[in-house]
Amino acid sequence: MARVAHELLATNIRAVAKARGVSFVFLAAQAGISTERLLAIFSGEFDPDLNLLFKLADGLGVPLWLLFYDPQHN
């Protein structure tokens, strides 16, 4: 079963942020959003546009596709 996009996005952002030592406060600031908005993305309460997704990826220092990478489908 395919994972819901916001769940996959949240899982990958959390994993990359942890691996790189990037706090959610820092990441949110890099993307120009509040920490609350970032958490709303994780829960599926807010759908980010493509521009915001690129900012999140840039703030983590990864390509955009990595935010949606699902190892279960390779």
Task: For 29-66, write each residue's pLDDT tens digit.
Answer: 999 999 999 999 999 999 999 999 999 999 999 999 99
> Which residue shows structure tokens 């959003």?
33
> Mutual orientation of helices 50-60 and 24-31 as an angle, nearest 10°?
130
Q: Give the residue-averaged pLDDT of 4-31.
A: 95
Find the Cα–Cα–Cα–Cα dihedral 46, 24, 52, 4, rounded to 10°.
-50
**pTM score:** 0.89
pLDDT value at residue 5: 87
CA triplet 61, 39, 60: central angle to 5 degrees?
5
Q: In which band, very low, low, confident or very high, does the pLDDT at 74 lie, cut at 50, 70 and 90?
A: low
pLDDT value at residue 1: 42
Length of the chain in terms of residues written = 74
